[in-house]
Amino acid sequence: MLYHLLYPLRNVFIGFNLLGYITVRAASAAITALFITLIIGPVILKWLVKRGLSEEIREDTPDTHQNKKGTPTMGGLIILCSLLIPTLLFARLDNHFIQLLIFTTLFMGGVGFIDDYLKVVKKYPKGLIARYKLMGQVTIGIIVAVVITLSSDYSNVLIGSSHADVHWQTSVPFFKNLLINFGWFYFPAVVLVITATSNAVNLTDGLDGLAIGLVGIAAIAWAGMSYVSGHIKFSEYLNVMYFSGAGEITIFCGALVGASLGFLWFNSHPASVFMGDTGALSLGGVIGTIGVLLKKELLIPIVGGVFVAEMVSVVLQVGSYRLRGKRIFRMAPIHHHFELLGWPEQKVVVRFWIIGIILAMLSLGTFKVR
């Protein structure tokens, strides 16, 4: 919004020329998101407490978690406000990438809000029925795939010194100019990616500060990759896909970093508020969507490696118990396994953050190691 209002006036006031720089707008979005979170956080937190919108701790968690009963939930409302407002202020609203990311955030945030509402207000133990939640995830996956299929942004993409149509293709990490064409399998592939990332973040949101910290780390990695992908000189030098307008995703990622840091202020141990499905489903959805938009689907398991490990641990645990009648882990998701091994909650969180940082650096390194 500010870009559209003030940048055309740069000849009147030279300072407005700064809005033409993606780095300036991304940094501004991050700082604004942080301050918005710190300002509206206490207000929303007070409202949640007044309404009695608190978390019911599941029985299938370590006993130490029972003292968290009564902690306000639906804190994802704080995240959504602090993420979307700076994006609307500093990003180009005529950019297709930004439009799709805003839509995905609101759509999955809505699905998560319904789930939280049914659990904490209507007192339905399981919240939104699983098949309806899955229906929402599949729907947004199909929408994203259709928009990309119809978008002209992927018709003539510059890769090095050549151009290619990459609507249904994805790049392969560590290889130059190697693309995989999904063909008609592109639609189920996108649905799988967004559904998986959405559920993975939701599963990871079981310890104070764990999920939101990892989301912020992943956002930094995506910010770097989107900036390079939208910069014609950098993308040419590194021989990666150049998408005109992809640099705007950096502003969204900047806002996501600021929102994550701000929410961590309230969500760090001992948490004053939980993000709930309102935050987890929307954040997981946009992490997957960014990877799809940048044609970096195969990098998602690296960027969000901890999220993937959390989800895989649940799949393995359930599969092993059904097939063999035995469990692999003491408890799944895997962060609970380490708790039951005697690791303090804070140590599990920090160590998982360290792994997330290493994986984020590795993902950025794939742009050079090719």
pLDDT tens per residue across span 42-67: 999 999 998 888 777 666 677 677 77
- The residue whose two tokens read 């979005």 is 29
Task: Provide the 3-class DSSP secondary structure of residue 82.
Answer: helix
Q: In this predicted structure, what is the pLDDT of residue 124?
A: 82
* Segments in the chain below pLDDT 70: 57-60, 63
Task: Provide the 3-class DSSP secondary structure of residue 366.
Answer: coil
Residues 240-293: tens digit of each pLDDT: 899 988 999 999 999 999 999 999 999 999 999 999 999 999 999 999 999 999
Q: In this predicted structure, what is the pLDDT of residue 69?
A: 81
Q: Which helix or strand (DSSP H or E) is residue 245 part of? A: none
Amino acid present at 262 = G
Q: Contact, 168 vs 182, CB < 8 A?
A: yes
Task: Provide the 3-class DSSP secondary structure of residue 37.
Answer: helix
Ramachandran sector of residue 177 (left: φ over 0; alpha: ψ -120 to 50; beta: rest): left
Q: Contact, 166 vs 151, CB < 8 A?
A: no
Q: In this predicted structure, what is the pLDDT of residue 178?
A: 85
Q: Contact, 29 vs 255, CB < 8 A?
A: yes
Q: What is the 3-state secondary structure (H, E, C) of 170-227?
A: EECCCCCCCEEECHHHHHHHHHHHHHHHHHHHHHHCCCCCHHHHHHHHHHHHHHHHHH
Q: In this predicted structure, what is the pLDDT of residue 63?
A: 63
Q: Contact, 266 vs 273, CB < 8 A?
A: yes
Q: In this predicted structure, what is the pLDDT of residue 6?
A: 87
Q: In this predicted structure, what is the pLDDT of residue 59?
A: 63
Strand partners of residue 171: 179
Q: In this predicted structure, what is the pLDDT of residue 211?
A: 97
